[in-house]
Structure 1
Amino acid sequence: MEISTPRETASFALSLLDLTNLRDDCDTAAIDELCRRAQTPYGTTAAICIWPRFVAQARITLGEGHPVRIATVVNFPSGNLPVSAVVEETKGAIRDGADEIDLVIPYEAFLAGNEAAVTEMVSAVRDACPNACLKVILETGELKDSARISRASELAIEAGADFIKTSTGKVSVNATLEAADIMLRAIRDSRKRIGFKPAGGIGTVADADLYLRLAETIMGSDWIMPSTFRFGASSLLDDIMAALSGAPSQRAASGY
């Protein structure tokens, strides 16, 4: 990675960013604005991440083959929909033009001891989107315990995840360095090409740098790229743009 300055970190983080709008009040104007913001003078974000109902609009706005990929969420944010409903939600999103699916595991069932529920959900959605990138959200802030986070990571990887992702951003505790460390070690130990996505609460280039350096320590200097690492964030782009334009950062690292 060999990043030495905040500007270099910002440029790298831009290429790894899933620019997100999953606000309850999101509307069509906000989606048009998100598509515009994802295309900066310094390059594009890796993807936008939006509600399924806006995928078709974003596909028209961006066009086929656009470098900004379209990610959407399913079984989100509660994780408690029936498998059949999530499969239909996934198939609809793919028909509308989604490139990537961010799936919430049934984490409440998992916490109750039902590991099979995780395997069944991830496997079914994997089958429903064989050509899409599947990011599996563990909701680590609710799992809390390190052994549970590790086991959920293993189950998601075994069932066909392309990425494992920390959080929905909708609970009180979202991405943390502690959870990232556990998940990255599970990826390393799997010996599979699985990506990692911290999401929720990453708002500054300094925050992003902490996660990049952790990933580099565990996975190696050449591992991090858009196919293996994403940031899920809504406000990080503002700080990236400030760093790239030479403006001062508005906030210090939050120390997640």
Structure 2
Amino acid sequence: MSDMIETAKRALGLVDLTNLNEDCTEADITSLTGRTVTDHGSVAAICVWPRFVAQAVRELTGTGVKVATVVNFPTGGIDTASVVAETKQALEDGADEIDLVMPYKAFVEGRKGFVEEQIIRVREVLPEDALLKVILETGEIKDPLLIHAAANVAIAAGADFIKTSTGKVAVNATLEAAEIMLTAIEEARRDDPERVIGFKPAGGIRTAEDAAAYLALADRIMGHNWVSASTFRFGASGLLDALIDTLEGKDSVEGQGY
């Protein structure tokens, strides 16, 4: 149990606490921001729909918790101009981090250049201190070689993080996809040791045991000193409560796991 408590302590500060429910309200956002600073420490960020960014920024002022939002979400469309405009508005509203859904259907169809261009164009409008997390939607890409190729495209186009999933499809984060993506990050690190590229599993991660499995995988591939909030995040809505329950010795109730 002590090992799981240590894992929970480690994982709590890596959580992107998420509400991307279609029926999310301003009251839900206030509830979400109210959970970010706990007796056991703060989460890394919250991740919300673009329409709630300004509210979240106001409510989190002074906490140190970042505000992330999603663009081209959840379907990964191909109207790059709209995605860039959506990104600019989110930044004007105060977003610190942008989680961009890669046009994964176009990628599977072989349109690598188009996908790369969209990521580059979004990257270009981000200030230096804003993070770009690129969502591959690995459960829809499916093929391991294509997942690896998608990770490489995102990294080459300027992603600061690569993220498994939107949480909106049948298959979201898996350890198999995580291993492929972390391997791509490790390969990129060998090519350019100065560049920092992070990893974010999202969708279906609900328990301290789930978190432990992903952290162990990252430790094995990237080394024990690699994981931090600048290199690793969990995209989840229910995980925080499970981690707190573990830290407080309670039985956790599974929540959602975007």
The interval holding the TM-score normalised by the smaller chain is over 0.9
* Runs (4+) off by over 6 Å: none
Aligned length: 248
Q: Deviations over 1:190-229 (max 9, x none)?
A: 1132000000000000000000000000000000000000
Q: Deviations over 1:103-125 (max 9, x none)?
A: 00000100111001211111000
What pairs with 1:102-141 in structure 2 (closer than 5 Å)? 102-131=99-128, 132-141=130-139
Amino acid at match of 2:246: A
Identity %: 58
Aligned to 2:150: 152
Aligned to 2:197: 194
CA distance in 2, matches of 1:61, 1:222: 32
- TM-score, normalised by the number of residues in structure 2: 0.94
Moved more, 81-90 or 199-208: 81-90
CA RMSD of aligned residues (A): 1.2
Q: Which runs of 5+ in 2 are unaligned?
A: 190-194
CA distance in 1, matches of 2:58, 2:216: 37
After TM superposition, give the deviation of residue 4 of structure 1 in Å.
5.8
Aligned to 1:168: 166
Q: 1:96 aligns with which of 93, 96, 101?
A: 93
CA distance in 2, matches of 1:120, 1:33: 37
Give SS of 1:167's match. coil
Amino acid at match of 1:12: R
CA distance in 1, matches of 2:44, 2:18: 11
Aligned to 2:227: 224
After TM superposition, give the deviation of residue 153 of structure 1 in Å.
0.3
Amino acid at match of 2:71: V
Q: 2:141 aligns with which of 126, 140, 143?
A: 143
Q: Deviations over 1:88-147 (max 9, x none)?
A: 100100000100000000001001110012111110000011331000000000000000
After TM superposition, give the deviation of residue 81 of structure 1 in Å.
4.1
Give SS of 1:93's match. helix
Amino acid at match of 2:17: L
Amino acid at match of 1:249: S
What pairs with 1:1-256 in structure 2 (closer than 5 Å)? 5-63=3-61, 65-131=62-128, 132-191=130-189, 192-250=195-253
Amino acid at match of 2:135: I
